[in-house]
Structure 1
Amino acid sequence: MAVWTVYLSLGLLVALNASVETRPVEKNKDCGTCASGWSAYGCRCFRFFNKHETWSRAEYKCLSYGGNLASVHNHDEYMFIQRMIRQTTHASTRTWIGGRCAEGHWIWSDGTRMTYQIWSPGEPNDHSYEYCTEMNYFNGNWNDVNCHAEKPYVCAY
Structure 2
Amino acid sequence: MQVEVLSVLLCLVATTYAGCPLGFHQHRRSCYWFSTIKSSFAEAAGYCRYLESHLATISNRDEDSYIRGYATRRGKAINYWLGASDLNLEGRWLWEGQCRMKYTNWSPRQPDNWRGNEHCLEIKRRYGNYLWNDNQCQEPSNFICEKEL
In angstroms, what is the RMSD of aligned CA positions? 1.8
Deviations 1:75-125 (A, max 9, x none): 1111211222234335x7211111111213101125443111011111111
Q: Aligned to 1:142, what secondary structure does the other structure show?
A: strand
> 1:5-43 CA distances to partner (integer Å, 9 max, x unpaired)?
xxxxxxxxxxxxxxxxxxxxxxxxxxx511111111121
Q: Structure 2: any 5+ residue segments left out of the alignment?
A: 1-17
Question: Equivalent residue for 1:95?
Answer: 80
**1:114 and 2:101 correspond:** yes
Distance in 2 between residues matched to 1:107 and 1:85, nearest whole Å: 23
Taking structure 1 as reference, are residues 54 and 113 closer, same or farther at Cα in structure 2, changes over 3 Å only?
same
CA distance 1:112–1:40, shift in 2 (3 Å): farther
Tell whether the 8 Å contact from 1:98 to 1:109 is kept in structure 2 after alignment. Answer: yes
Q: Higher helix fraction: Structure 1 or Structure 2?
A: 1
What's the CA shift for 1:155? 0.3
1:44 match? 30
Answer yes or no: is the 8 Å Cα contact 1:123–1:144 preserved in 2: yes
Within 5 A, what are the aligned runs for 1:47-126? 47-89=33-75, 93-101=78-86, 102-104=88-90, 105-126=92-113
Contact 2:35 2:142 survives alignment (8 Å): yes
Structure 1 gap ranges (5+): 1-31
Q: How many pairs does the alignment contain?
A: 125
Indicate yes or no: 2:137 matched with 1:151.
no
Q: Distance in 2 between matches of 1:133 and 1:123?
A: 10
Q: In 2, distance between residues paired with 1:83 and 1:138?
A: 13
Question: C-alpha separation between the residues in 2 aligned to 1:82 and 1:142?
Answer: 10
Query: Any conservation in 1 of the 2:79–2:124 contact (CA below 8 Å)?
Result: yes
Structure 2 distance, partners of 1:122, 1:137, is 15
The structure, 1 or 2, with the larger RCO (C-alpha pairs under 8 Å, 6+ apart) is 2
2:8 corresponds to: none
Superposition deviation, residue 138 in structure 1 = 3.9
Using structure 1 for the length normalisation, give the TM-score.
Answer: 0.72
- 8 Å contact 2:34–2:75 — kept in the other structure? no
TM-score (structure 2 length as normaliser) = 0.76
Aligned with 2:36: secondary structure?
Answer: strand
CA contact (8 A) 1:55 1:132 kept: yes
